[in-house]
Amino acid sequence: MVTPDLRRAVAVLNAPFGVIDRDAFDANAAAMTERAAGLPIRVASKSLRTPAAIERALELPGFAGVLTFSLPEALALHARGIRDIVVAYPSVDRAALAALAADPAAAAHITLMVDHPAQLDLIETAATAPEAVVRVCIDIDGSLRVAGLHIGARRSPLHEVSEVLGFVGDIAARDHVRLAGLMCYESQVAGVPNAGANPRQAILRRLQARSIRELTERRTAIVTAVRGEAELEFVNGGGTGSLETSAAEGSLTEVAAGSGLFAPASFDRFAHFRHTPAAYFTAPVVRTPAPDWVTVAGGGWIASGAAGIDRLPAVAWPTGLAISATEGMGEVQTPLTGRGTRQLRIGDHVFFRHAKAGELAEHLDFFHIVADGQLIETWETYRGLGWNFETGMSHPQHTPSR
């Protein structure tokens, strides 16, 4: 929550800005560790997109390794000294693949995600040195398939034991790739808010429970079968929304999570856990156009996914404020209404929470960090460092590790 101490600490700053309550961040890390029941948590970098935040999590008990969303990002984090990196999505970036294959130190600590022979072909083409070997992880489809429906993210084509074993054999037959692990992410459980008393949410909870039962059986069978063919260093699954059930399954050696550290607005709608909001952005009041209305500078901040009101930011402070139903988050200004406007004056800060965690950092060059009620430092975001991994427009220059 936006405490009086937090507001006082940043009162001198010019909005807009981003701020992280480090005490809440650390408390969320402890809560996530407890929910994971002893399994190490691999930090999902896409949910933070701020190197210092990733490094802070890795310093805390219960966290080990990083799950990145691109290979150039993994190379950049490795250059900062981070080790044990798994790239969560397949890469077809030929320059980055060549850089990885040519750097033995990076190749020893970075594992690529694969689910198709064509991805292996690209890796082998990039690995020009006879001795080059790239670590790979097989991505397994964690969705629920029932009555002709596909419930969950469309990721890997590998769903059944036989399909995974066939791909294990393909990897084993190649000279420049080595199987290191498996990943199977249940997005329909970990990433879909399930609180609410309406019929739709009740059906969702039943589908999630069914998916957990199905995946426990299928994932366990796949892991058992693959261990009969190859040695595995890790088996990864889960997310912030499924830490309890993923850890209880028994087939995983680790879980992946990151969003719970920031606790974005969408996490208010999960039924079985609650973390403390830790990351905010602010906007200054610039107008009071009518009684019970204020207008703040700036707009946008809409989350990815299917369009809907659940993709809008949430007003965190003051309470009693709502985004206009007719204007939404504006282009360059945003009107807000409600009784909360009565305590606001022109120049005051309004605090918001993004609907998602890491996407917040795409709008900011850095976060101000508050701890023990004091403004203590700033943490640069990927954007602030000039890193743009989603479009590939501005990769940092890769320097081989020494």
User: Are residues 252 and 318 located together in one domain of the fold?
Assistant: no
Give a yes or no: residue 294 inside a domain.
yes
Amino acid 51 reads P
Nearest C-alpha neighbor of 69 from the set 297, 271, 258, 279: 258
Q: Is 375 exposed, middle or buried (0-12, 13-18, 19+ CB in 10 A)?
A: middle
Three-class secondary structure of residue 181 per DSSP: strand
Three-class secondary structure of residue 162 per DSSP: helix
What's the N-to-C CA distance of the chain in angstroms?
43
Percent of the chain with pLDDT strictly greater than 90: 78
- CATH number at 341 reads 2.40.37.20
pLDDT, averaged across the chain: 93
In angstroms, the CA 44 to CA 361 distance is 14
Tell which wins on pLDDT, 400 or 284.
Answer: 284
Q: Tens digit of pLDDT for each residue in 174-218?
A: 999 999 999 998 878 777 777 788 888 877 888 888 888 888 999
pLDDT confidence of residue 272: 84
Q: How confident is the model at residue 395 (pLDDT cuts 50, 70, 90)?
A: low
User: Are residues 239 and 191 located together in one domain of the fold?
Assistant: yes
User: Are residues 116 and 209 located together in one domain of the fold?
Assistant: yes
41 close to 32: Cβ distance less than 8 angstroms: yes
User: Are residues 158 and 251 located together in one domain of the fold?
Assistant: yes
241 close to 270: Cβ distance less than 8 angstroms: yes
User: Are residues 298 and 175 located together in one domain of the fold?
Assistant: no
Give a yes or no: residue 283 inside a domain.
yes
In angstroms, the CA 44 to CA 91 distance is 17
User: Are residues 169 and 210 located together in one domain of the fold?
Assistant: yes
User: Are residues 229 and 321 located together in one domain of the fold?
Assistant: no
Give a yes or no: residue 345 inside a domain.
yes
pLDDT confidence of residue 208: 81
> In 76-174, which ranges are E strands?
85-87, 110-114, 134-141, 144-146, 149-151
User: Are residues 285 and 253 located together in one domain of the fold?
Assistant: no
Q: Looking at 197, 225, 257, which one is the last position of a domain?
A: 257
Q: Tens digit of pLDDT for each residue in 29-67?
A: 999 999 999 999 999 999 999 999 999 999 999 999 999
Domain count, the chain: 2
Domain assignment of residue 111, given as a range:
69-257
User: Are residues 167 and 289 located together in one domain of the fold?
Assistant: no
> What DSSP designation does 362 have?
G
- List CB contacts of 217: < 8 A, sequence separation 6 or more: none
User: Are residues 253 and 146 located together in one domain of the fold?
Assistant: yes
